[in-house]
Amino acid sequence: MTTGLDTTQAKKLDALLRLLDDDSPMVREAVSCELQSFGVAIARHIHNERLTLSPMEWEVLRRILFDAYTRELRDNWAAWAGPEDDAVRLEKALGMLARFQNGPRYRPDLTESLGALSDEYATTAKEISYASLARFLFSEKEIRCMEESDEDADASNLSYVIEQRVGLPISLVCLYILMGHRHNLSISGCNWPGSFYARFHEDGKLYVVDCGAGGLVLEADELLRLQGPSREAAEAVLTLDIDAATLVRRVLSNLAFAYRREGETECSLLMLDLLRALERSTRRGYHNSTAQ
């Protein structure tokens, strides 16, 4: 059994899950304590066994396992910033955040989801290119920006974005970056005022991709010509390199804000803690590099 549970454990877990909404507070408290011992393995068990839970049961289970997923995220968080390729760092960080956000509602590991989407692109595309990848993701697959009035924490969860085909502009850009990395396409982010674009260089020219507009690809010069007297400032934005740490910082800020708006204070504070940890590690990295 891929959950790592033996038959006896699996049967016990099934019985506990059936008691999630028991009328007795004493029973619910005992069930909560027992379920906590299973930890994050519960999500895959529910998925593998195709168990059905009501919305209320999902919420109860989420609360019961919140500490387990929080602990896992805190314990593993520092590992994403290891000395690897920048896109690998980004994928690790977003994968950890997605796992926390998914909680007991099972979704495939982010790397697994990206791999499946990448295989689909490779088998259907006539050529591997920046433009064809943008067209595949944001036109053919119709992955789009979430309406501003609907924006929530899930809009920053890349596993959710792939599954539901909707997310924040920066989420779409991150998806494009990570998909491009799988096909040796070097893509970066661009913090354009009021939105978030992707950019790439090809044949000596800089291009900008508006992922939320069906993957529209524009030459940077074409976009800059529209800026009039603001051209110089706009050019500085377009040419500014944005690394994985900067993208993760923006995602954490978005999550902290979204969770606070949704009344999820503990989640919001957790994102702020991770953001502060990232700021500290970034400052240490800067001091170390300047001291050499």
Query: Residue 18: pLDDT above 90?
Result: no
Angstrom distance (rounded) from CA 63 to CA 196? 33
Among candidates 7, 8, 65, which has minimal Cα distance to 34?
65
Residue 280 pLDDT:
86
Give the residue from 76, 65, 149 showing the smallest Cα distance to 101: 65
The answer on pLDDT for 153 being more than 90 is: yes
Do 41 and 175 fall into the same domain?
no
pLDDT for residue 196: 92
Burial class (CB within 10 angstroms; exposed 0-12, middle 13-18, buried 19+) of 253: middle
Indicate the residue among 49, 83, 117 that finishes a domain.
83
39: helix, coil or strand?
A: coil
Beta carbons of 236 and 72 less than 8 angstroms apart: no
Residues 139 and 164 in one domain: yes
Tell me, yes or no, whether 91 and 206 share the same domain: yes
- Binned at pLDDT 50, 70 and 90, residue 2 comes out as very low
Q: Residue range 74-102: average pLDDT?
A: 93
What is the DSSP code (8-state) at residue 146? P
pLDDT tens across 177-232, in order?
Answer: 999 999 999 999 998 888 899 999 999 999 999 999 999 999 988 888 777 777 88
**What is the structure's pLDDT at 187?**
97
| Whether residue 191 is found in the same domain as residue 140 | yes
Run of H or E residues at 134: helix 130-135
DSSP characters over 40-81: THHHHHHHHTT----HHHHHHHHHHHHHHHHHHHHHHGGGGG
Of 48-52, 241-245, 279-283, which has the strongest mean pLDDT? 241-245
| Per-residue confidence band for 281, with pLDDT thresholds at 50, 70 and 90 | confident
pLDDT at 45: 87
Average pLDDT over residues 1-9: 67
Has residue 140 got a pLDDT over 90? yes
77 plus 90 within the same structural domain: no
Q: Of 61, 83, 105, which closes a domain?
A: 83
Look at residue 68 and tell me whether its pLDDT is greater than 80.
yes
Please report where in the chains the tokens 């502060």 appear, as a residue. 276
Residues 95 and 32 in one domain: no
Claim to verify: residue 215 and residue 78 sit in the same structural domain: no
The span from the CA of 278 to the CA of 95, in Å, is 16
Helix (H) or strand (E) holding 202, with range, is strand 197-202
Same domain, 47 and 130: no
Domain total of the chain? 2
The mean pLDDT of 114-128, rounded to a whole number, is: 96
Contacts of 105 (CB under 8 A, 6+ apart): 43, 58, 62
Q: Are residues 25 and 170 in the same domain?
A: no
* Structural domain for 2, as ranges: 1-83
- Calculate mean pLDDT across residues 138-164: 93
| Position 238 pLDDT exceeds 90 | no
> How much is the average pLDDT of 5-31?
84
Contact 172, 138 (CB under 8 A): yes
Distance CA 93, CA 88 (A): 9
Q: What pLDDT does 101 receive?
A: 96
Based on the domain organization, do 45 and 157 belong to the same domain?
Answer: no
User: What is the mean predicted confidence (pLDDT) over 103-114?
Assistant: 94
Overall average pLDDT of the 240-258 stretch: 95
**Helix, strand and coil in the chain, % to nearest 5:** 65, 10, 25
pTM: 0.87
Smallest CA-to-CA distance from 116 within 105, 127, 104, 108 is with: 108
Cα separation of 161 and 179, whole Å? 13
**Percent over 70 (pLDDT), the chain:** 95
Q: Which of 64, 83, 102 represents a domain boundary (last residue)?
A: 83
Average pLDDT of the chain to the nearest whole number: 89
Whether residues 164 and 286 fall in one domain? yes
- Give the pair of three-digit tokens for residue 143: 């992955």
pLDDT at 4: 65
One domain for residues 143 and 274:
yes
Model pLDDT, residue 284: 62
User: Alpha-carbon distance 47 to 105, whole Å?
Assistant: 8
